[in-house]
Structure 1
Amino acid sequence: MKIAGYIKNSFIDYPAHISCAVFLGGCNFDCWYCHNRPFIKSAGDIDEDEVLAFLQKRKGQLQGVVISGGEPTLNKELPEFIQKVKALGYPVKLDTNGSRPNVLQSLIDQGLIDYIAMDYKAPLEKYAQTVGAPVDTQDIKKSVEIIKNSGLDYEFRTTFAPTLTKQDIIQIAQELKGAKKFVLQQYNHDELYCEILGKKIKPHTKEYFEKTLEAVKQAFQGQAISRGL
């Protein structure tokens, strides 16, 4: 399997773990604010053997491996690669957009993942508009239920893009009713986005973000936290 990129040491991608973050290329969404945009179209040219050799060398130092993207569940070789990672003794966190519930269920059934982070992009009625691509929201709903019933550690997370409002985030919290953890992430307006959009779109103010998070805590029964503020 080809890898689009990897971060050898990450302290933020896997909660409570020092991890290696592995990025697989290709995505069926085209979110304008994506911070991994270079991986959307490119499959990558790093051989998996390079990554596996690194993981072998770092046994006892790294505490986990994150599989991210792009959208990892699009890759048919994903299960086999995770099996190789697990054989080295690493717990695996999967980052996913939730668009392929059948693949997600299969990975869970095979015992291949230990933590799931699903990006819940927008209220269901705004999904296609937000992700820049056609999307079957029934698949999104199925993935949410699969994750909630998986028995695994998990989080649902939403990037508070400027195109989303406080009411949108509250609606998301209501749609995720019964989940145990929700993460509201601040939108990052770096130079890459400016180049793509041709202009600079500012994030919501800290005050608006914090007020939104407080409103979410009232609407969401589980743990609601912020990230990137």
Structure 2
Amino acid sequence: MKFAGLLKQSLTDYPGKIAAVLFSRGCNLRCPFCHNAHLLVRPGRNDAAAGEIEDLELLAFLQERRGFLDAVVFSGGEPTINPELPEVIRRVKDAGYLVKLDTNGHNPLMLTKLLADNLLDYVAMDIKAPLDYKKYLEASGRLSPKDFFNVRAAINLLQTTAIEVEFRTTVIPLWHSPEDIAAIARYIEGARLYCLQQFNPRTTFDSGLSSVKPYSKEELMEMARLCRPYVDSVRIRNV
């Protein structure tokens, strides 16, 4: 499996751990607010992309960093569109590392396999909008009915697992009212952690969002207050 990039050290992507972050290329969605737009499209089979990292290079790097790094985060793009992902994660686990997966939840079958095989220690799932098909489609850029069904299935799956799970939403005034955020919290009622992420208009797939003013810290704090009756913990990020 090829990866589009590697962040060799992060103190923020795996809470409480020192982690390397791997970025896979390709995604089934086209969220207008995506801040990794350069990772949305995979190169063709015969195309070489500058800076790509092979899984063997990754494993060599991890062997060198044993005792310094605690974990590896698989991010993207959307990692679960790659059928080779479970085998790569297995090798990383065999090397002694914790594994965190960042996902949009469109592939609950792979997620089920990874959990059943004890290959994940932490999952962060993005919830794009309230769990209404029309609203979710608007926030996702494109979304098949099957993908929408899979998102809900992934949420239900993650609500039953014993590993660490966070749900998170990037909050954008165009798509998210305080009532919308509260509706998401109600849908994931009983979740251990829900993170509200500040929108950054400077790094988006849709350049037209550059003029959109993000919510203030105070407004996000009020949204967090609305969520707290439904989830154990609410955090605000990037403010």
Q: Name the TM tier (shorter chain).
A: over 0.9
Question: Over residues 40-78 of structure 1, what are the superposed CA-to-partner deviations in whole Å (9 max), with x where a residue is unaligned?
Answer: 113553222222211110000001000011111100100
Task: State how far apart, in whole Å, the 1-side matches of 2:213 and 2:140 are.
Answer: 19
1:197 to 208, 218, 221: 208
Size of the alignment, in residue pairs?
227
The runs of at least 4 consecutive aligned structure 1 residues that moved more than 3 Å come to: none
Aligned match of 1:66: 73
Give aligned-pair identity as a percent.
40
Aligned match of 1:42: 42
Aligned match of 1:168: 180
Q: CA contact under 8 A between 1:194 and 1:200: conserved in structure 2?
A: no
Matches within 5 A, 1:42-191: 42-43=42-43, 45-125=52-132, 126-136=135-145, 137-163=148-174, 164-190=176-202
Aligned match of 1:5: 5
TM-score by length of 2: 0.90
Shift of 1:198: 7.0
Gaps of 5+ in 1: none
TM-score by length of 1: 0.94
Shift of 1:200: 2.1
Question: Which stretch has the larger CA shift, 136-145 or 86-95?
Answer: 136-145
Question: Over residues 6-36 of structure 1, what are the superposed CA-to-partner deviations in whole Å (9 max), with x where a residue is unaligned?
Answer: 1000000001100000011100011111111
- Secondary structure of 2:228's counterpart equals helix
Shift of 1:183: 0.8
Gaps of 5+ in 2: 44-48
In structure 2, what residue type is equivalent to 1:174?
A: R
In structure 2, what residue type is equivalent to 1:3?
A: F
What is the root-mean-square deviation in Å for CA atoms of aligned residues?
1.5
Question: Which stretch has the larger CA shift, 195-204 or 112-121?
Answer: 195-204
